Amino acid sequence: MKTMIHLHQTHHTVADFNGIFKTLTEVLKGDGLHLFPELYLTGYPLQDLVLQRPFIDRYLEHQEEISEWARKQTGSWRGLLGGLSYQFKDHERVPQKIQNVIYEIVPGKGLINLYAKRLLPNYDIFDEQKYFSAGRSNAFYQFKEETFGLQICEDMWASSFHEIDPCELMMKEVKEKNLKLKAVINLSASPFEATKKTKRLERARNISLLFGCPFIYLNRVGGEDEILFDGSSFVMNGPEVIAELPSFKSASQEISIDAVQSPYSKKPEFHPENTWEGLFSPRINMDVRPAVLKSWSDEECLEVLKALQFGLQEYAQKSGFKKFLVALSGGMDSALVLAITKLSLKPGQSVEAIYMPSIHSASLSTELSEEMCRRLGIKLAYLPIKFLHSTVKNAFIQTFSDPFEGLIDENVQSRLRGTLLYTRSNQTGAMVINTSNKSELAVGYSTQYGDSVGALSMLGDLYKTEVYQIANFVNKHFNSPIPEGIITRGPSAELRGNQLDQDSLPPYSRLDTILEGILSYRLGKTQLLELGLPENEIKKTLELYSKSEYKRAQFCPILKVKAKSFGFGYRMPISKSHIYQLES
Amino acid sequence: MKTMIHLHQTHHTVADFNGIFKTLTEVLKGDGLHLFPELYLTGYPLQDLVLQRPFIDRYLEHQEEISEWARKQTGSWRGLLGGLSYQFKDHERVPQKIQNVIYEIVPGKGLINLYAKRLLPNYDIFDEQKYFSAGRSNAFYQFKEETFGLQICEDMWASSFHEIDPCELMMKEVKEKNLKLKAVINLSASPFEATKKTKRLERARNISLLFGCPFIYLNRVGGEDEILFDGSSFVMNGPEVIAELPSFKSASQEISIDAVQSPYSKKPEFHPENTWEGLFSPRINMDVRPAVLKSWSDEECLEVLKALQFGLQEYAQKSGFKKFLVALSGGMDSALVLAITKLSLKPGQSVEAIYMPSIHSASLSTELSEEMCRRLGIKLAYLPIKFLHSTVKNAFIQTFSDPFEGLIDENVQSRLRGTLLYTRSNQTGAMVINTSNKSELAVGYSTQYGDSVGALSMLGDLYKTEVYQIANFVNKHFNSPIPEGIITRGPSAELRGNQLDQDSLPPYSRLDTILEGILSYRLGKTQLLELGLPENEIKKTLELYSKSEYKRAQFCPILKVKAKSFGFGYRMPISKSHIYQLES
């Protein structure tokens, strides 16, 4: 028997209860089973919002409005959607137990709580055990004489750090009760990562083969500060993807499913990629240089590009920005930020570029910035800092006897630019996009309150070598917005004469490999040496990394496109003893 | 029989393994039982450090060094100390299970794992469930025929959100096995809060009476970025404190304990103050204005002052600063920061004050700043921003057609000051102390990258009304370092002519009450109205609060002296839908 399933990969701002109600009541009709993502009723992640009285009160009201609407409906449709379940201690609405659940919505009846999420992710950016209590049982859902297994997001991932494996527990009950599943349904709110799609599909294939039925994966779409949900929902039937929704876009699709032909009873292979273990095992391929870049295909580059554009637009729209502001330097990072911003503009939006040369800016930087803006059709504002710079310098020389040179003289240029940039932002109401990359952030190669300013960092999760890769991809597929000269010149902060990044840092190809080892695989000197990396470069990198924690602590949100990023999921004491020097 | 107990309230930097080894091997001798705090072997909190290979490797080596040392010792002393217990999945040292445990150290034997913490706090700043697995059983420790019940920190606090109550579970086993406890020992790493000492003592009294034996509470000392551990260890015997160690200071003390005279078998009264519930129940006393200030006694003011001084020194020493830098404005906040810094200076340290007047600075501000520095014997550097300000203004007028006025003109002054302040900091290597208060932070009444800069915020957990309370306390007890005129003049940002804070904000006495309601008790408009606060002020405050999340997201670490503070324990989406406007 054919069962019609409607997949709704929806997109709402967190706590946009009116919008959620509207979508829900518009699409629920007809005859099939409608699926919505994890925590569809609220959005995700909510963090402390789940504890605030105005949120709780309004959420419960919202839930009641939906129930009431459903009770007045007739028809044979059903819906499954993610929501919160609150238990209170007393009349004060002190939450005693909060669960992340699946509700069924039934015409004539309302909302029925079916299932509470069993695996609450609590690593990296995930804090679910801070707010939620785990469910303790499987759930099987009946729709028109068909039985569906229910899961929420993390439930599909086994990991040695979790005490249970929900797939295994569900399989056990399936066997004991001799159930025949029509499909396993997983409602998700799963963040984007550059290479995660492949991992999800692999895992889904295993689960579909294990249960001998289709696996329906429905993921939310949304950008929540640094965290991006890509949607990319799909239905896996045995080894085969039979339906696929777009990435970073709200979409609905109707599908009809049949059980896979040849059920497969082997336990799924264990893939550590998206699990606790995945955050540890070094998978750096040293045969490829730069090692960290080994795996991005053109398709993955495109997904990263889409993620950055989507993340920018989400932040801007939710914060009410229609204008963007980028400080161009004539270098690679700011050029890529400007190009991506321009490519992602929507009707009614605009971007402005500002070029703020100092006495150390090369004429090539001016020419390349002009050329870049010409290609993109963006007006370039000049705001030289030479006079301001010398004014500050003179004031210091007159007031203090200490020398004014070296890093002092370099940082002041960067901070004056930060001040001018934000003054311009105040004038036009434009959102300042930060232009730092992950390599700089990791070694503290930036000036606090200077080039590190911004509302949002677009490239802060991309190493410098990856910035180049995306820049080349953009030039190849989007009419070369970036002048070749910007890509080929040596990176420089231009804060003193003839300065090159490589004078202070290891070559980026190796620096990025070392950094990936430290950050993603938690390696120290010993393990990095074993990988064949040069000792002096390892030491230099570890020293710069461990001394710059304070800068990262005050950094803006960074669009997250990797498993391990700086930001909310990176939790490191600032004033710790320098453990990376313990080994030397 | 008398049992000698040695309490060691020690103080080490996180991961200072050499220092920890040295202290331990120096004090372990003689005949008694030596107690050290929770996670004594590493320091606390560790966050992601517990997962990093160099940390894991060095920690295991450290543990082995201690074991080896102990195996070579003789004598009848014993030690109980907090440490980590790792279980790995494989040779890659991927942690499978990490526990927060109590080790016994035994001459001739080494380290023996006795007990794993049962209640892992995971609210507010605590992330223990992210890293640790909970223990599942009670532990009773035998020393010279005496039996001791063992606990780690949170184990002593019952809460309806936790599924178990370790005191109750321990009592159950005591009854079943008919044990006679000599004492209950709790090794802690419990952060300071202004009024927490009273709560700890109350709870300890209950536990001592419940078990009919002394309750030994041993807490660590240390300042870890924003989190301050105060020590303040004690021994409670029935209703009575029989030993007490100092706050914010390393100390050792020997005590002899006897069981309480009249054991008390009632279940301890439930006090929600330090528990999950404590983060909710509104205890705002509206009869007192400002309501949030109702409870600080002179003793509590002194503890807060000590906390701020300690926190400053901890951050400075761990980061290698010997000089401090404060921007004086002639207002209350910067004056208090300067006074507290001066009062906390240690030999070899110094503090510098900078006054950066703009065209809007009143001559009274200059006079008061000078008077303040005269009293404290601090040289005051003048660095007027008038010329820089007009230079920037002219550049903008020449370059852009948009007007340069209002907030634009105000913010630029603040940002130029931030630039100058950090330029000076770069010159001298001084640590910039931020001067914002909690009221400003909560409503976003500051300029990003302007007056909001700093390595560490000293007053960011004190409302403006509390800043005044501490200022008066400091003046009363420490020879009036702050000129009376600074305390009595109306607060102003002085960024335009005749500007007063109260022109843009509700009066601080009510603003602070509303903020305390929103932040600590998670209230919304409805509940604040019920408390009798004016609707227009509630609305204004909620609007300013919910629009300024982005500023707090990039703020420096704030010394935490309250149960609910901005910083690591405050987790709120930035670009959320404005839930505080849902009600209006």
The pLDDT value given to residue B282: 42
The residue-averaged pLDDT of B335-363 equals 97
Question: In whole angstroms, how far apart are CA B29 and each of A394, B65, B147?
Answer: 63, 17, 21
In the predicted model, is pLDDT for residue A292 greater than 60? Answer: no
Assess whether A117 carries a catalytic annotation: yes
The pLDDT value given to residue A283: 45
The percent of residues above 70 in pLDDT, for chain B, comes to 91
For the domain bounded by B3-276, which CATH number is listed? 3.60.110.10
Of A16, A225, A423, the CB nearest to B392: A423
The lowest-confidence range among A381-385, A522-526, B90-94 is: B90-94
Q: What are phi and psi of A193, to 5 degrees?
A: -140, 150
Q: Write the pLDDT tens digit of every residue in A48-105.
A: 999 888 999 999 999 999 999 999 999 999 999 999 999 987 666 778 889 999 999 9
Of B399, B524, B573, the CB nearest to A224: B573
The pLDDT value given to residue A563: 86
Q: Where are the alpha helices (DSSP H) in A186-284?
A: 196-211
User: Which residues fall within 8 angstroms of residue A265, CB to CB, at 6 or more apart?
Assistant: A210, A212
Work out the number of other CB atoms within 10 angstroms of the CB of residue A299.
Answer: 10
Q: Tell me which of B104, B128, B153, B196 is the catalytic residue.
A: B153
CA–CA gap between residue A348 and residue A350 (Å, rounded): 7
Top residue of A413, A527, A575 to mutate, by most chain B CBs within 10 Å, is: A575
Closest CA to B14 of B50, B36, B42: B42
The lowest-confidence range among B45-59, B152-166, B199-213, B266-280 is: B266-280
Cβ–Cβ below 8 Å for B51 and A279 = yes
Q: Which residue has the higher pLDDT, A263 or B138?
A: B138
Find the distance separating the first CA and the last CA of chain B, reported in whole Å.
67
Closest CA to B478 of B570, B345, B327: B345
CA distance B182 to chain A (A): 35
Cβ–Cβ below 8 Å for B400 and A427 = yes
The pLDDT value given to residue A520: 86
A71-110: burial string, b at 16+ Cβ within 10 Å, e else: eebeeebbbbbbbbbeeebeeebbbbebbbbbbbbbbeeb
* Contacts of range B466-471, beta carbons closer than 8 Å, 24 or more positions apart: B466/B292, B466/B293, B466/B296, B466/B437, B466/B438, B466/B512, B467/B332, B467/B333, B467/B336, B467/B437, B468/B332, B469/B293, B469/B296, B469/B301, B470/B301, B470/B304, B470/B305, B470/B336, B471/B332, B471/B335, B471/B336, B471/B339
Which stretch of DSSP H or E encloses residue A509?
helix A508-521
The percent of residues above 70 in pLDDT, for chain A, comes to 91
The pLDDT value given to residue A259: 63
Q: Write the pLDDT tens digit of every residue in A547-577.
A: 999 999 999 999 999 988 999 999 999 987 6
CA–CA gap between residue A556 and residue B192 (Å, rounded): 29
Which residue type does B221 have? V
CA torsion angle A308 A314 A319 A320 (round to 10): 110
Closest CA to B15 of B52, A430, B438: B52
Of A282, A416, A524, the CB nearest to B54: A524
CA distance B346 to chain A (A): 19
CATH match of A3-274 with 1.20.120.1200: no
- Kindly indicate the confidence band of residue A161, based on its pLDDT and cuts at 50, 70 and 90: low
The residue-averaged pLDDT of A370-389 equals 96
The residue-averaged pLDDT of B350-356 equals 98
Residue B298, CB-side half-sphere exposure with 13 Å CA sphere: 5
Cβ–Cβ below 8 Å for B48 and A419 = no
- Kindly indicate the confidence band of residue B89, based on its pLDDT and cuts at 50, 70 and 90: confident
Work out the number of other CB atoms within 10 angstroms of the CB of residue A61.
Answer: 12
Q: Tell me which of A104, A117, A273, A556 is the catalytic residue.
A: A117
Q: Which residue has the higher pLDDT, B493 or B307?
A: B307
Q: Cβ-count burial of B531 within 10 angstroms (0-12 exposed, 13-18 middle, 19+ buried)? A: middle
| 8 A C-beta contact, residue B146 and residue B132 | no
Q: What are phi and psi of B135, to 5 degrees?
A: -75, 165
Q: Tell me which of B104, B117, B410, B556 is the catalytic residue.
A: B117
Q: List the single residue in A with minimal CA-CA distance to B584.
A: A54
Q: Tell me which of A68, A92, A97, A153 is the catalytic residue.
A: A153
Q: Which residue has the higher pLDDT, A474 or A165?
A: A474
Strand pairing class (A95-106; A78-88)? antiparallel
Most distant pair of Cα atoms in chain B: their distance: 88
Top residue of A61, A97, A128, A130 to mutate, by most chain B CBs within 10 Å, is: A130
Of A318, A408, A423, the CB nearest to B411: A423
Q: Which residues of B touch A392 (CB under 8 A)?
A: 388, 419-420, 423
User: Which residues fall within 8 angstroms of residue B372, CB to CB, at 6 or more apart?
Assistant: B328, B335, B338, B339, B353, B481, B482, B483, B486
Q: What is the DSSP string of B370-395?
A: HHHHHHHT--EEE---HHHHHHHHHH
In the predicted model, is pLDDT for residue B539 greater than 70? Answer: yes
The pLDDT value given to residue B490: 85
Of A14, A570, A582, the CB nearest to B54: A582
The pLDDT value given to residue B511: 94
Q: Which residues of B touch A311 (CB under 8 A)?
A: none
Q: Write the pLDDT tens digit of every residue in A238-266.
A: 889 999 999 999 999 999 987 665 555 55
Q: Which residues of A touch B122 (CB under 8 A)?
A: 129-130
CA distance B53 to chain A (A): 5
The residue whose two tokens read 């091997």 is: B25
Name the CATH superfamily housing domain A296-501+549-581: HUPs (3.40.50.620)
| 8 A C-beta contact, residue A456 and residue A433 | yes
Q: Which residues of B touch A94 (CB under 8 A)?
A: 160, 276-277, 280-281
Which residue type does A390 have? S
The percent of residues above 90 in pLDDT, for chain A, comes to 76
- Kindly indicate the confidence band of residue A39, based on its pLDDT and cuts at 50, 70 and 90: very high
Cβ–Cβ below 8 Å for A408 and B419 = no
Q: Write the pLDDT tens digit of every residue in B263-286.
A: 555 555 555 454 555 544 444 444
Report the 3 state secondary structure along A256-277: EECCCCCCCCCCCCCCHHHCCH
Q: What is the DSSP letter of A217?
A: E
Name the CATH superfamily housing domain B295-498+556-579: HUPs (3.40.50.620)
- Kindly indicate the confidence band of residue A401, based on its pLDDT and cuts at 50, 70 and 90: very high
User: Which residues fall within 8 angstroms of residue B121, CB to CB, at 6 or more apart?
Assistant: B128, B153, B154
In the predicted model, is pLDDT for residue A346 greater than 50? Answer: yes
Spell out the domain ranges in chain A: 3-274, 296-501+549-581
Cβ–Cβ below 8 Å for A412 and B419 = yes
Q: What are phi and psi of B83, to 5 degrees?
A: -160, -175
The pLDDT value given to residue A584: 45
The pLDDT value given to residue A95: 82
Q: Which residues of A touch B314 (CB under 8 A)?
A: 575
Rounded to the nearest integer, the mean pLDDT of chain A is 90
- Kindly indicate the confidence band of residue B581, based on its pLDDT and cuts at 50, 70 and 90: low
Cβ–Cβ below 8 Å for B92 and A576 = no
Assess whether A167 carries a catalytic annotation: no
Q: Write the pLDDT tens digit of every residue in B109-120.
A: 999 999 999 999
Which tokens sit at A299? 């398709």
- pTM for this entry: 0.94
The residue-averaged pLDDT of B441-449 equals 96
- Kindly indicate the confidence band of residue A281, based on its pLDDT and cuts at 50, 70 and 90: very low
User: Which residues fall within 8 angstroms of residue A313, CB to CB, at 6 or more apart?
Assistant: A223, A344, A346
Size of interface A-B (CB pairs under 8 A): 280
The percent of residues above 90 in pLDDT, for chain B, comes to 76
Interface predicted TM-score (ipTM) of this complex, two decimals: 0.93
In the predicted model, is pLDDT for residue B104 greater than 70? Answer: yes
The pLDDT value given to residue B566: 96
Assess whether B153 carries a catalytic annotation: yes
The pLDDT value given to residue B275: 53
CA distance B79 to chain A (A): 25
In the predicted model, is pLDDT for residue A276 greater than 80? Answer: no
Of B45, B57, B282, the CB nearest to A526: B57
Q: Write the pLDDT tens digit of every residue in A452-463.
A: 999 999 999 999
Q: List the single residue in B with minimal CA-CA distance to A13.
A: B577
Closest CA to B387 of A399, A421, A388: A388
In the predicted model, is pLDDT for residue A464 greater than 70? Answer: yes
Cβ–Cβ below 8 Å for B13 and A281 = no
Find the distance separating the first CA and the last CA of chain A, reported in whole Å.
67
| 8 A C-beta contact, residue A521 and residue A435 | no
Q: Which residue has the higher pLDDT, A383 or B266?
A: A383
Q: How far is CA A176 from the centre of its chain?
A: 40
Top residue of A87, A163, A554 to mutate, by most chain B CBs within 10 Å, is: A554
| 8 A C-beta contact, residue A463 and residue A439 | yes
The residue whose two tokens read 């780690």 is: B152
Q: Which residues of B touch A279 (CB under 8 A)?
A: 51
CA–CA gap between residue B234 and residue B12 (Å, rounded): 20
Q: How far is CA A318 from the centre of its chain?
A: 16
Cβ–Cβ below 8 Å for B51 and A383 = no
Work out the number of other CB atoms within 10 angstroms of the CB of residue B363.
Answer: 9
Q: Tell me which of B38, B128, B303, B410 is the catalytic residue.
A: B38
Q: List the single residue in B with minimal CA-CA distance to A407.
A: B426
Cβ–Cβ below 8 Å for B575 and A426 = no
Q: Cβ-count burial of B216 within 10 angstroms (0-12 exposed, 13-18 middle, 19+ buried)? A: buried
Q: Tell me which of A38, A273, A410, A440 is the catalytic residue.
A: A38
Q: Cβ-count burial of A136 within 10 angstroms (0-12 exposed, 13-18 middle, 19+ buried)? A: exposed
Cβ–Cβ below 8 Å for A51 and B522 = yes
Cβ–Cβ below 8 Å for B277 and A522 = no
Q: List the single residue in A with minimal CA-CA distance to B422.
A: A412
Q: What is the DSSP letter of A241?
A: E
Cβ–Cβ below 8 Å for A57 and B524 = yes
Closest CA to B494 of B355, B326, B329: B329
In the predicted model, is pLDDT for residue B65 greater than 60? Answer: yes
CA–CA gap between residue A359 and residue A384 (Å, rounded): 9
Closest CA to B473 of B293, B230, B226, B223: B293
Q: List the single residue in A with minimal CA-CA distance to B555.
A: A554
Question: In whole angstroms, how far apart are CA B131 and each of A518, B48, B86, B112, B136?
Answer: 19, 8, 11, 22, 16
Q: Which residues of A touch B318 (CB under 8 A)?
A: 575-577
- Degrees to nearest 5, angle at CA A50 with A49 and A56: 100
Q: Write the pLDDT tens digit of every residue in B554-579.
A: 999 999 999 889 999 999 999 876 66
CA distance B517 to chain A (A): 11
In the predicted model, is pLDDT for residue B290 greater than 50? Answer: no
